[in-house]
A and B are shown apart, each in its own frame.
Chain A
Amino acid sequence: MNRPAMIFTAICFGLCPMLAQASTVAYLDVSTSNGYADTFAINGIDTGGNGEFYGHNMAENDFTLSANMLGDSSMPRLGGSLHVSNSTNQEVEYVIGFLMPLMDVDAGTYDWDASLTMTITGIDGSIRSIAEEPIWAAMVGDHDIGTMFTNPFELAFEGPGTASIDNAISGNINYLGGEYMSVQYSFSLSAGDTVVFGGSMGFVPAPGALCLLGLAAIAGRRRRRSTSSAQAAQPDHHRA
């Protein structure tokens, strides 16, 4: 599914849950060249100063996927990991999109930074870009933020092993509004191998805004400490 269609689907899917509950709802869109296509709504879990966590695991016949994202909807930033393992005996193409809602972001000019790590693991592994798509592309609202590992791109190794690469980009944006921050991963993965992406991107606040955010963080930490001490007697492990 392309990004405009995914955004439309996400809005249709998400309007009711967003109105019904306080936590934000993000969307994970997964499609493969083997004919799999689905979109998942993921409820955010508040992690205090780190923003909200969005997690989703799945094991299909042809692949497994684990998405673990941390995001902040009000001061846009989004980061985390994405694992995809190809369980077939042939190369498979994947297009995976993740959308996080934006809330109360002031229009203005912002500096932004982004980085991406990519590691493949297995035997005789390779990852390649597909069609005209970059491996990684990001949008904030209606603005294209940037791309990394543009077509043609290939990372490969022989025998049992791993290979890794990283990249970073930065720039500034005249943000005029928008409802989502999104990243899209498009790639072809060799048979029987696994790719793990790690990355983060976000707006970098101006120095004055940083002081304000610092004060807010200190206040938030105090509040969380008092809450944590009350909950310490009941540690809670749960699958995301």
Chain B
Amino acid sequence: MLGRGKAWLVMLLASPLIAGATEPVVHMEWYASSDPATPIQFNPADMGDSTPGADGSTIYVGSMMDEQWQVSWTTRARSDATSSYLDAGLSIINLSSEAQSFYFDTQLNMVAPTGSDSTVQLDASLALTNMDFNGNADLNSFDDQSIVQAMLGGTPIATVFDAPYELEAVGPFSSAVDSDSSGTMPGIHPADTIGVLTSFTLSPGDLLNVTYVVDVTAIPAPGAIALIGLAALGCRSRRRRPHDPGVREARS
């Protein structure tokens, strides 16, 4: 019975490591208001390149282009039993001659579903560039939505750059940046996906870089803390036992 119990404990402790070793499941969706062929839904593992990170994450890089727009992404995703992490750099160029609205949605399946026993933090930056020698570059919120929203199970949990929001780069080849953080928020909604939705309206011929980090960390429940404590005590007593005979021999 004791052997079977030990095997169960080893399996329990090892499961996050096994889960963390697998490639995360990520889905993306892209929409451009000028393009009736959008929204386009895709898996970044199939649309672009990827490489594993030394921190257990997977980094996806890719781009798409049409006559009216160009979008590129560098997205890092990681999920294990205690935390899920998503960061990205998105670059969007409005190639049309009119202001255009866009959204880019990224969803990551979490290894361990969260509930109220988790915290969420969203940080984001916007970098707007006027790519031409005339006019200004303008970024506005779209459809009364915050520019960047972190979602748990499709429900907004943290937002930054709330509507109405405007950023302007004035003058030829000019730029403007802005940063914001939600601070640490309680998880509240039970969910098995974490996502980030960015939506905005961008002036013609201009470039927007959106970067964000969303971090969901589980707060261990009292029962789990007790289990971890017992496991730690068990390991310590097992490590002490082999040394005991040696100690007795030295004394004798």
Which A residues form the contact surface with B (CB < 8 A)? 45, 47-50, 53, 55, 57-61, 63-66, 68, 70, 77, 79-81, 83, 85, 87-89, 113-119, 121-123, 160-166, 168, 191-192, 194, 196, 198-205, 210, 221, 228, 231, 235-240
Contact of B65 among A85, A113, A228, A237 (CB under 8 A): A237
Q: Please, could you name 8 A-B residue pairs with CB atoms under 8 Å apart, sorted by A?
A: A113-B133, A117-B127, A117-B176, A119-B89, A121-B211, A162-B123, A166-B175, A228-B67
Chain A, Cβ-Cβ closest to B217:
A160
Cβ contact within 8 Å between B61 and A83: yes
Chain A, Cβ-Cβ closest to B56:
A192
Cβ contact within 8 Å between A88 and B70: no
Cβ contact within 8 Å between A113 and B49: no
- Which A residues are in CB contact (< 8 Å) with B130? 115, 200
Cβ contact within 8 Å between A68 and B54: no
Within 8 A of A (CB), among B126-150: 126-134
Cβ contact within 8 Å between A68 and B125: no
The CA-CA distance from A137 to B40 in the complex, in Å, is: 37
Min CB gap A211→B, angstroms: 12
Also in contact, A80 and B207, with CB within 8 A (given A58-B61, A192-B53): yes
Q: Tell me what chain B mostly uses at the interface: helix, strand, loop, or mixed.
A: strand
With contacts A121-B212, A164-B127 known, what are 13 further pairs, Cβ within 8 A?
A49-B205, A64-B59, A64-B61, A66-B61, A66-B72, A68-B93, A70-B93, A80-B93, A87-B57, A161-B213, A196-B89, A198-B129, A221-B97
Interface string of B98-134 (1 = CB under 8 A from A): 0000000000000000000000010111111111111
Also in contact, A192 and B55, with CB within 8 A (given A57-B72, A203-B133, A221-B97): yes
The CA-CA distance from A72 to B180 in the complex, in Å, is: 34
Min CB gap A204→B, angstroms: 5
- Which A residues are in CB contact (< 8 Å) with B80? none
Chain B, Cβ-Cβ closest to A231:
B67
Min CB gap B97→A, angstroms: 6
Cβ contact within 8 Å between B70 and A196: no
B22 within 8 A of A: no
Cβ contact within 8 Å between A81 and B65: no
Cβ contact within 8 Å between A115 and B59: no
Chain A, Cβ-Cβ closest to B48:
A57
- Which B residues are in CB contact (< 8 Å) with A118? 127
- Which B residues are in CB contact (< 8 Å) with A199? 129, 175
Cβ contact within 8 Å between B49 and A61: no
Interface string of B147-171 (1 = CB under 8 A from A): 0000000000000000000000101
Cβ contact within 8 Å between A236 and B66: yes
- Which B residues are in CB contact (< 8 Å) with A123? 213
Cβ contact within 8 Å between B72 and A68: yes
- Which A residues are in CB contact (< 8 Å) with B63? 55, 57, 66, 68, 239-240
Chain B, Cβ-Cβ closest to A83:
B74
Contact of A162 among B61, B131, B172, B212 (CB under 8 A): B212
